[in-house]
Structure 1
Amino acid sequence: MTVTIKDVARLANVAPSTVSRVIADSPRISEETKQKVKDAMEQLGYHPNLNARNLASKSTQTIGLVMPSSKDVGFQNPFFPTVLQGISEGAQEKNYALHMTTGKSEKEILEAVIHMVQGRRVDGVVLLTSRVEDQVVSYLRTRKFPFVLIGKPYKDIEEITHVDNDNVRAMKEATDYLIQLGHQQIAFIGGTKELIVTVDRQDGYEKALQEADIPVKGEYIVHEEFLREGGQEAVRELMALKKPPTALVVADDFMALGVLNTLDELGIRVPDDISIVSFNNVLLAEMAKPPLTSVDINIFELGYQASKNLIQLVENEKEPTKRLIISHRLVERSSCTELNTARIGKDLI
């Protein structure tokens, strides 16, 4: 026999309308009553028909996730599984499902988002990267469709809810750390210039050098993909310089893994010959040889806050625009040491 809301209400000794409000997670219902109703639902084996409820409310109870290009870093860099865990937890707390989309190009991604929005497949969208002149952001704003951006918007910052780190400050602190160890020949390995996170982290790197009266050298700034191969290509270029750097700030742990691999091939020792600070503090930073000093940007929290605040936007159209800055910290390991002055000016190759 099918269990109904009335059966749950009878066992919990509440009105059927109260059971409905508990299922909808209404803030008007006390935690004590919610627990009593949930206990009755569990005892009777009652499962609410969310599809029927969503159809009646014209809600899909689903969040859309817009991944980077499928030919890019989206399914390779450890950043994304971790941020997806945070998004998923935030969604599950409110009984929202996830719908992921991507494409092989920016045009394909935009088309997929248009299809997702116009087909009413989702109630709102989380964008996992922030790009310069992002067509997806422009489209969603034109449609006035709820979305949250992980990263800083390229423009109209005060009009877009976003979750980010203070990447300028974080990179400045990472570079300052190397300067305090006596390094002045410090190179920057960043992602592509189309990503706002790259722009901000390079800004922080340059500010640290300028405040320390260290010249910013163009040959010490290299941009590659946020991939291990990107780190390999970048460090080969830097180590081939007539005066190679004594320290590196690398904008991503996955890139830094490629840096370590290539330095080992070249016979350059970390940290004896060169020091490295990287970003994200994913598990591979701790497992690397040597373990990497890395800036922990709380990736899980970035995802969790993104989905939590998107749901608030979906459920309350008057929800104000927010700028949420997630804290960071430098985790010191074995990839940095004080400058070996005996090696200054010496070709490491």
Structure 2
Amino acid sequence: MNSENRVTIKDIAKATQLSVATVSRILHKKGQHNSQTVKRVTEIAKQMGYVRNTSAADLVKQKSRIVAVVVSDTKSNFSEHIIDAIEAKAIPAGLNVFILHAGNHDEASQIRAIKTVVERAVMGIILVSLELDDHVLATLKDISIPSICLSTSVKDATIPFVTSDNYQMGYTATQLMIDKGHTKIALAGIPTTGSINLRTQGYLACMADHHLPVKPEWIHYGSCTYDDGIKAWQAYAKKREITCAICASDFTAIGLMNAVTESGLKIPDDISLVSFDGTEMVDMVRPRITSITQSFYDMGLAGIQYLINGKDVKTEYLPFKLTERDSTRNLTAAEQGSKKD
């Protein structure tokens, strides 16, 4: 229901032929009133579709109880862990969590989402896995509502953010596979822009530090989706060079793994696989997928604590861990020799 069609207390007062003050006290359960009058007001309010304007009530109290969480509409499952943590802290604190979605790298939808939450007089905004351009960042600063980004970094730390170090994650994943004897290592489903692209820089730096070449076709760009994994393998399979693929997300890794299996090859016998994120999905498939595991729940806790406690956060990189499972293996000396050409 939009603001123009919203049923107000004045409308109910007119329908019941009672004063606005009386209707307001009844609907807000204040004071003592005749039971028949209370029944008549509440029934008519229900019939007319009255919904209490919580934003207005909060403004009267000069303190909002709503936390807005704006989540990227890119398909992922790690945002659930962030939201779980936010709700775990917000609900016991008497706060309501308002969740809506916006497009990543989509200025128009992000501005719409921000305007929507501003209209609800929120106490703070948590933005999850969204890359924000200068206009959106300027808008957030102008509205003067406490805001924090999770699972992404922000240029010049314009607003606080909590994330993982994408560069180090890219470097660590690549180093793992080099240590296992791999020299022809692909990177699958990685976005071309945004803070997540720092994983590509980490990958390239590690390869360069070991004097290993990287062919352009080994880097398959995408948006961390399941389909990106399938498309990446279709590209790699045209010329079987790589022995390992580092995937931009768990979704991408599972897509690539399924495509490899359908082509008649095996993981890790023919191709080793590493994924970023390390959500529960990597343990649900067989073989289980080696991952760079991020602390998504802790990101959510940091975000809501910042709003509740006013914790001073400017830039915070949470620790990640390398979790080896069944999708990677060491190359034998003979295999390493045959793969050098």
Answer whether TM exceeds 0.5 for this pair.
yes
Q: CA separation in 2, counterparts of 1:142 and 1:180? A: 49
Question: Contact conserved, 1:132 with 1:196, CA < 8 A, in 2?
Answer: no
Give the TM-score of the pair, scaled to structure 2.
0.76
Q: CA RMSD in A?
A: 2.5
- Does residue 285 (structure 1) correspond to residue 285 (structure 2)? The answer is no
Q: CA separation in 1, counterparts of 2:134 and 2:189? A: 20
Q: CA separation in 2, counterparts of 1:103 and 1:177? A: 35
Distance 1:53 1:131, change over 3 A: closer
Partner of 1:32: none
What pairs with 1:104-143 in structure 2 (closer than 5 Å)? Answer: 106-117=107-118, 119-131=119-131, 133=133, 135-143=135-143
Report the secondary structure of 1:182's partner residue. Answer: coil
Report the secondary structure of 1:160's partner residue. Answer: coil
Structure 2 unaligned residues grouped into runs of 5+: 1-53
What pairs with 1:132-281 in structure 2 (closer than 5 Å)? Answer: 133=133, 135-157=135-157, 159-197=158-196, 199-241=197-239, 243-281=240-278
Report the secondary structure of 2:246's partner residue. Answer: strand
Question: Contact conserved, 2:126 with 2:149, CA < 8 A, in 1?
Answer: yes
- Does residue 309 (structure 1) correspond to residue 306 (structure 2)? The answer is yes
Partner of 2:40: none
Distance 1:334 1:211, change over 3 A: same
Letter in 1 for 2:255: G
Question: Contact conserved, 2:66 with 2:122, CA < 8 A, in 1?
Answer: yes
Letter in 1 for 2:236: L
Q: CA separation in 2, counterparts of 1:106 and 1:239? A: 36
Q: CA separation in 1, counterparts of 2:244 and 2:212? A: 14
- Does residue 60 (structure 1) correspond to residue 61 (structure 2)? The answer is no
Question: Contact conserved, 1:294 with 1:331, CA < 8 A, in 2?
Answer: yes
Report the secondary structure of 1:225's partner residue. Answer: coil
Q: CA separation in 1, counterparts of 2:275 and 2:187? A: 10
Question: Contact conserved, 1:90 with 1:305, CA < 8 A, in 2?
Answer: no
Letter in 1 for 2:112: E
Question: Contact conserved, 2:70 with 2:102, CA < 8 A, in 1?
Answer: no
Distance 1:223 1:210, change over 3 A: same
Greater RCO, CA 8 A, separation 6+: 1
Q: Deviations over 1:230-285 (max 9, x none)?
A: 111112112223x4210111121111110110000111211111111111111110
> 1:154 offset after TM fit, Å?
4.1
> 1:321 offset after TM fit, Å?
4.1
Question: Contact conserved, 1:129 with 1:150, CA < 8 A, in 2?
Answer: yes
> 1:152 offset after TM fit, Å?
4.0
Identity value in percent: 25
Report the secondary structure of 1:101's partner residue. Answer: strand
Question: Contact conserved, 1:227 with 1:254, CA < 8 A, in 2?
Answer: yes
> 1:142 offset after TM fit, Å?
2.6
Q: Deviations over 1:16-70 (max 9, x none)?
A: xxxxxxxxxxxxxxxxxxxxxxxxxxxxxxxxxx99984443222111111123x
Question: Contact conserved, 1:191 with 1:251, CA < 8 A, in 2?
Answer: yes
Pair member with larger Rg: 2
After the TM superposition, which segments of 4 or more aligned residues of structure 1 sit over 3 Å from their partners? Answer: 50-57, 103-106, 151-154, 340-346
Q: CA separation in 2, counterparts of 1:237 and 1:138? A: 40
Q: CA separation in 1, counterparts of 2:155 and 2:60? A: 37
Report the secondary structure of 1:304's partner residue. Answer: helix
Candidates 333, 336, 347, aligned match of 2:328 = 336
> 1:85 offset after TM fit, Å?
0.7
Report the secondary structure of 1:163's partner residue. Answer: strand
> 1:219 offset after TM fit, Å?
1.2
Report the secondary structure of 2:203's partner residue. Answer: helix
Letter in 1 for 2:238: A
Give the TM-score of the pair, scaled to structure 1.
0.75
> 1:93 offset after TM fit, Å?
4.2
> 1:131 offset after TM fit, Å?
1.4
> 1:106 offset after TM fit, Å?
4.0
Q: CA separation in 2, counterparts of 1:305 and 1:154? A: 16
Question: Contact conserved, 2:153 with 2:163, CA < 8 A, in 1?
Answer: no
Q: CA separation in 2, counterparts of 1:266 and 1:138? A: 49
